[in-house]
Every structure is written in structure tokens, then in C-alpha cells.
């Protein structure tokens, strides 16, 4: 694993020190991306590093980590991944969303991650259709 993270809590900031490992939860944690509880016994990704001179810790559930790996090549701004995902899916309008459906990379997501991603895409599609009707 590389000892530098591409992103930090501030956009595009490279970590001066960085470590990442997979841990088994000994107590309940909260995922920094989807805010769901990571239950005792569940695996999660633990990352720590120094960004802008400050130590920071991030815990990410496996579902979100898979989305991050598949759609962002592992590089994200912590805590904003799902917002960025929504933007990514909806920026191409209807075609962009259809492309997302056709893009079989989503088969590499966990079931929960895929459910969240599809729900988000469906919501964006609905919004676009509502806007069309308004015109
Ligand atoms: Zn998560």
C-alpha cells in the first residue's frame, strides 16, 4: 500500500503521513461516508494520516470502500464520496444515468453499496424527468 493518500479532508490535499489497514470492529463505529454503523465483528477500513499538519482518522465501511475503489480509483475527499458520486452520475443527464446502469462495474460493488448507488441514480432520474415535465 502506498504511504500517501491522494486526498484528505480538504480538497486535493496530500497527506504527509498516511496509513491504511483493514480492521475487524471490536466496538461499533460509524462509517465516515454513509454514516451507517459498522457493527462489532464487521470489517472496515481504517485510515489515518496527517493532512494540513493535523492527525485525522477515518473509518469506512466495506460497502463505501468498494464504491470508492470502483468509481473513484480509491481517491476521494473523505466524507463527500456519495455527494461526488451523485454528481458524477447526474452530470451527464439522462444519458449519464443510463450509462451508469449499463456500466457493469456496479457488479463489483457489495449488495448494500449497489442498492445505495441505484437508489441515488433512480432519484436523479426522477428529478430530471420532473424537470422535463415542467418545461
Ligand atoms: Zn459506508
Question: What one-character DSSP code corresponds to residue 24?
Answer: E
Compute the distance from residue 30 Cα to the ligand 1 centre, in Å: 8
Q: Residue range 93-103: average pLDDT?
A: 94
Compute the distance from residue 24 Cα to the ligand 1 centre, in Å: 15
In a domain, 109, yes or no: yes
Sign of CA pseudo-dihedral 69, 71, 77, 80 = negative
- The pLDDT tens digits for 2-61 are 333 444 444 567 788 889 999 999 999 999 999 999 999 999 999 998 888 889 999 999
In a domain, 1, yes or no: no
In a domain, 76, yes or no: yes
Total domains in the fold of the chain: 1
Q: Point out the least confidently predicted range of 4-18, 70-84, 88-102, 108-122.
A: 4-18
In a domain, 71, yes or no: yes
Compute the distance from residue 70 Cα to the ligand 1 centre, in Å: 14
Task: Say if CB 82 and CB 43 are below 8 A apart.
Answer: no
In a domain, 2, yes or no: no
Distances (CA, A) of 6 to 10, 45, 113: 11, 16, 22
In a domain, 3, yes or no: no
Compute the distance from residue 33 Cα to the ligand 1 centre, in Å: 5
d(CA 27, CA 38): 8
Block residue for cell numbers 432520474: 125
d(CA 131, CA 118): 20
Compute the distance from residue 106 Cα to the ligand 1 centre, in Å: 16
Q: What angle do CA 113, 14, 44 make, to 5 degrees?
A: 30
Q: What is the pTM of this model?
A: 0.86
Compute the distance from residue 89 Cα to the ligand 1 centre, in Å: 18
Pairing of strands 29-30, 37-38: antiparallel
Give every CB contact of residue 73 below 8 A, 6+ residues apart in sequence: none
- Domain, as residue range, for 14: 8-134
Amino acid at each position: 500500500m502506498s504511504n500517501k493518500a491522494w486526498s484528505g479532508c480538504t480538497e486535493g490535499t496530500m497527506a504527509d503521513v498516511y496509513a491504511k489497514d483493514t480492521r475487524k470492529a471490536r466496538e461499533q463505529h460509524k462509517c465516515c461516508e454513509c454514516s451507517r454503523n459498522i457493527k462489532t465483528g464487521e470489517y472496515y477500513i481504517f485510515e489515518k494520516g496527517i493532512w494540513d499538519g493535523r492527525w485525522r482518522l477515518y473509518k469506512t465501511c466495506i460497502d463505501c470502500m468498494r464504491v470508492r475503489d470502483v468509481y473513484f480509483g480509491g481517491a476521494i475527499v473523505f466524507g463527500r464520496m456519495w455527494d461526488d458520486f451523485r454528481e458524477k452520475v447526474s452530470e451527464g443527464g439522462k444519458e449519464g444515468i443510463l450509462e451508469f446502469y449499463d456500466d457493469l462495474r456496479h457488479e463489483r460493488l457489495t449488495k448494500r453499496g449497489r442498492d445505495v448507488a441505484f437508489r441515488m441514480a433512480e432519484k436523479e432520474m426522477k428529478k430530471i424527468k420532473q424537470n422535463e415535465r415542467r418545461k
